[in-house]
Chains A and B, each alone.
Chain A
Amino acid sequence: MPLTLADTLPTDSTEREYLWTLNFGPQHPATHTTLRLVLTLDGERVVDAVPYIGYLHSGFEKLGEHLDFNQYVTIVDRMNYVSPLANEIAWHHAVEKLLGIELTPRCVYLRTILAELMRLHDHLLNVGTTALDLGAFTAFLYGFEQREKIYDIVEFASGQRFHTSYTRVGGVLLDVNDEWISRVRKFLKEFPPTYREIDKLLTRNRIFIDRTKGIGVLTREDAVNFGATGPIARASGVVRDLRKDEPYLAYADLDFQVICSTGGDCYARYLCRMREMGESLKIIEQALENLPSGPVNVESVSDVVLPAKPPVYRSIEGLIQHFEVLMPNRGYDVPHEEIYAATESPNGELGFYIAGDGTTRAYRARTRPPSYVHFGLFPHIIRGYQLSDVVAVLGSINIIAAELDR
C-alpha cells in the first residue's frame, strides 16, 4: 500500500524544500526508448512525476497526408515497432473501411493469424522486459528466443523480419504457401513449453510478486476515465475487447476468451498478458485450421488493389493496371468522408481517423496510439509509490516511444 504521508504535508513551497527532483531519462535502460520523466521525490517516495515526451516526434501524421494509402504503411509499421504488423493491419483496416472494400476470406484469416502472432510478439517482449527491469534476466531471453521464431515466420511471408510493410489495400503483398503454414504449426508446437517455462519463472516467483503486486494500482473508474484500453484496462476490470465488442477480421467466427482481472496492479497486468498469449495461441490454431483457399487479394475492385507481380512483369494489361493504381494523376475514387476505425492491438485500442478528399492520399491520417493515452495516466498511478516502482509501472504499461511521439 502506498503511504499517504506526502499527501498530508503542507503544500506551501517553502515547506517542501526537502523534496528533491530526479531526472529520469531520456536515455535510461529502463525506459527502453526515449522518454523523460521528472520525478519529485520525498526520500524514495514519488510525490509527483511529470513526463516530457516528443523526443522521437517525426511528424508521421503530416507524412500521412503526403503519402498514398499503400505508401504510408511503411511509416505506420515504424510506430509500434514491437508489433509492426498489428499497426499495418489497423491502418489498412481503416482504409478499407473508408473505401468500403470487403476482404477475401483467405486474407481475413491470414491477417487474423498475423495479428495474433504480433500479440504474442508484443506480450513476450513486454513480459520479458518487465521482468528484466526488475532483475530477472532469464524470462527475457526465453521470450526472445520465441520472438526470433516469429520473426522467421513473418520474414518467410513478407521478406522482412521487422518492418514488414506486408498489407496492401484490399489484401497483402504476397500470398503464403503450405511451407509457411507448416512453419506456423511448428511454432505452435514449440511455443507452449517456453510459455510454461516463463510462467514457472515469474508467476509464483516471490521476488517478482513482491515487486509487482499492489504496485501502480489503477481502479476501474480511473481506467475508464483515463481512456485506458487493452490489457491495462482489462487488468483493472474493464470488460472490453474490440475483438469481441466490435468484431473485425475473423474474430467473430473464432472461439476465445477475453482475459480480465480485478487487481489493477502491475501483477494483474502481467497475468492478463500471460493468459492472453494462451488465447492468442488458440486463435491462431483455429484460424490456421480454417484458413480458406482462394485468392488473397480482392479482385472485384481492381482499380484499387495492386495486381500481383507476375502479370505486371509479363503482360501489358497487368502493367497498365499497376500504373493505374500508382500514377499520381490516375488513382481511384475515395469518398469525401471521414472515418474512425479501431482495432485491438496488443497494447490497446489502436485507431485511425482518416479524412478522405477524393484523392488516394489521406487528407488527415490521425493515429490514436494506445501508448500515448496510457502514458498520460502514468503520473496518476505512480504517485505515492517508491522510486524503484517506477520501472515496474513503466514496464507494465508498455510504453513504446516511437508510437507515443509518432
Chain B
Amino acid sequence: MLELATLQDRFGSEITESTFRDNRRIVVPLARIYAVLEFLHRGGFDMLAEMTAVDYLEYEGATDRFGLVYVLVNTTTGERLILRTHLSPPELEVPSAYPLWKSADWLEREIYDMFGIVFTGHPDLRRILMPEEFTAFPLRKDYPLKGRGERHNFPVITRAES
C-alpha cells in the first residue's frame, strides 16, 4: 500500500490525504500533478480507470472553481487510489496523462468538451460528444439545463435549399 509520507517526502507537504467510506483520496497541488502521476504510474498503478472533473461554482465552502479527479488502480494488488487536484480560471491547463495511460485520451477529451479544461500535450484534443461548432461547455454550473437556445436556433436546411 502506498504511504502518504512517501509522496510528501518527494513532492512536498502540501499533499494531503482523506478517507471517506472506502475511498482513499490524495489531494495534490496542480503544479505537481504530472510528477505525482508519473511516480504512481511507475509505482504500479497501471490503470487509469476513471477521470472526471467537478465544477465547484455553487459548492458551499469551495475555494477553487474546478476539481479534477483521477481514479487509479493497481491491477496486481487491486489497490484503488483517488487523486484530486484543483484549478481555477484563467489558468485552466493541466498536463495530459496520455503519455502514461492511453485511456486518458477519451476521458480528457470529454472533460475538455464538458468543462473547457485544456490538457497540454494531448495528441488530439477535440470535442467528443458535442458538435465541433459548439462554443459553450455544458457541464459547467453556469450553463443552464435547457441550454442557451442552440437547439432552437439550429440551422435547418430544407430540401429546396440543399
Does A associate with B in a complex?
Answer: yes
- State which residues 25-69 of B face A: CB under 8 Å: 25, 46-50, 52, 54-55, 58-61, 69
- In Å, the complex CA distance between A69 and B161 comes to 46
- The answer to whether A363 touches B54, judged by C-beta atoms less than 8 angstroms apart, is yes
Provide the residues of chain B in CB contact with A222, threshold 8 Å. 102
- The answer to whether B47 touches A224, judged by C-beta atoms less than 8 angstroms apart, is yes
Provide the residues of chain B in CB contact with A97, threshold 8 Å. 21-22
- The answer to whether B71 touches A340, judged by C-beta atoms less than 8 angstroms apart, is yes
Provide the residues of chain B in CB contact with A66, threshold 8 Å. 145
The A interface is mostly helix, strand or loop, or mixed, namely: mixed
- The answer to whether A227 touches B48, judged by C-beta atoms less than 8 angstroms apart, is yes
A52 nearest CB neighbor, chain B only: B128
- In Å, the complex CA distance between A98 and B22 comes to 10
Provide the residues of chain A in CB contact with B139, threshold 8 Å. 61-62
Tell me how far the C-beta of A266 lies from the nearest C-beta in chain B, rounded to whole angstroms.
20
Contact of A342 among B49, B59, B106 (CB under 8 A): B49
Provide the residues of chain A in CB contact with B20, threshold 8 Å. 335, 337-339
- In Å, the complex CA distance between A373 and B110 comes to 11
Provide the residues of chain B in CB contact with A246, threshold 8 Å. 22, 78, 80
With A238-B75, A340-B23 as contacts: A229 and B49 at CB distance below 8 Å: yes
Bitwise interface map of A from 327 to 360 toward B, beta carbon under 8 Å scored 1, else 0: 0000000011111101000000101010101100
Provide the residues of chain B in CB contact with A373, threshold 8 Å. 103, 106-107
- In Å, the complex CA distance between A355 and B82 comes to 14
Bitwise interface map of A from 218 to 230 toward B, beta carbon under 8 Å scored 1, else 0: 0000101111010
- The answer to whether B102 touches A226, judged by C-beta atoms less than 8 angstroms apart, is yes
Provide the residues of chain A in CB contact with B110, threshold 8 Å. 372
A54 nearest CB neighbor, chain B only: B129
Tell me how far the C-beta of B148 lies from the nearest C-beta in chain A, rounded to whole angstroms.
13
Provide the residues of chain B in CB contact with A363, threshold 8 Å. 54, 58-59
Contact of A380 among B82, B102, B107 (CB under 8 A): B102
B105 nearest CB neighbor, chain A only: A376
* Interface residue? B5 (CB, 8 A): no
- In Å, the complex CA distance between A337 and B60 comes to 11
B41 nearest CB neighbor, chain A only: A225
With A226-B102, A357-B59 as contacts: A59 and B50 at CB distance below 8 Å: no
Provide the residues of chain B in CB contact with A375, threshold 8 Å. 106
Contact of A59 among B49, B58, B138 (CB under 8 A): B138
- In Å, the complex CA distance between A375 and B82 comes to 24
* Interface residue? B11 (CB, 8 A): no
- The answer to whether B130 touches A57, judged by C-beta atoms less than 8 angstroms apart, is yes
- In Å, the complex CA distance between A100 and B131 comes to 39
Tell me how far the C-beta of A344 lies from the nearest C-beta in chain B, rounded to whole angstroms.
12
- State which residues 371-396 of A face B: CB under 8 Å: 372-373, 375-377, 380
Residue among A66, A227, A353 having the largest count of chain B Cβ atoms under 10 Å: A227
- The answer to whether A377 touches B102, judged by C-beta atoms less than 8 angstroms apart, is yes
With A351-B71, A368-B49 as contacts: A62 and B103 at CB distance below 8 Å: no
- In Å, the complex CA distance between A355 and B75 comes to 26
- In Å, the complex CA distance between A380 and B47 comes to 17
Residue among B59, B61, B131 having the largest count of chain A Cβ atoms under 10 Å: B59
With A61-B139, A338-B54, A351-B50 as contacts: A225 and B130 at CB distance below 8 Å: no
Tell me how far the C-beta of B126 lies from the nearest C-beta in chain A, rounded to whole angstroms.
10
B79 nearest CB neighbor, chain A only: A245
With A54-B131, A227-B103, A238-B75 as contacts: A366 and B52 at CB distance below 8 Å: yes
Provide the residues of chain A in CB contact with B50, threshold 8 Å. 340, 342, 351, 353, 368
Tell me how far the C-beta of A336 lies from the nearest C-beta in chain B, rounded to whole angstroms.
7
* Interface residue? A183 (CB, 8 A): no
* Interface residue? A282 (CB, 8 A): no
- The answer to whether B21 touches A339, judged by C-beta atoms less than 8 angstroms apart, is yes
Provide the residues of chain A in CB contact with B138, threshold 8 Å. 59, 62
Provide the residues of chain B in CB contact with A225, threshold 8 Å. 46-47, 101-103
B124 nearest CB neighbor, chain A only: A50
Bitwise interface map of A from 86 to 100 toward B, beta carbon under 8 Å scored 1, else 0: 000000000001101
A-contacting residues of B (Cβ < 8 Å)? 20-23, 25, 46-50, 52, 54-55, 58-61, 69, 71, 75, 78, 80, 82, 101-103, 105-107, 110, 114, 127-131, 138-139, 143, 145
* Seed contacts A240-B75, A246-B22, A376-B102; 11 additional CB < 8 Å A-B pairs: A57-B129, A62-B139, A225-B46, A335-B20, A338-B25, A340-B69, A340-B82, A342-B50, A364-B55, A366-B54, A380-B102
B-contacting residues of A (Cβ < 8 Å)? 53-54, 57, 59, 61-63, 66, 97-98, 100, 222, 224-227, 229, 238, 240, 245-246, 335-340, 342, 349, 351, 353, 355, 357-358, 363-364, 366, 368, 372-373, 375-377, 380, 405-406
- 5 closest Cβ pairs, A-B complex: A227-B103, A376-B106, A54-B129, A57-B129, A368-B50
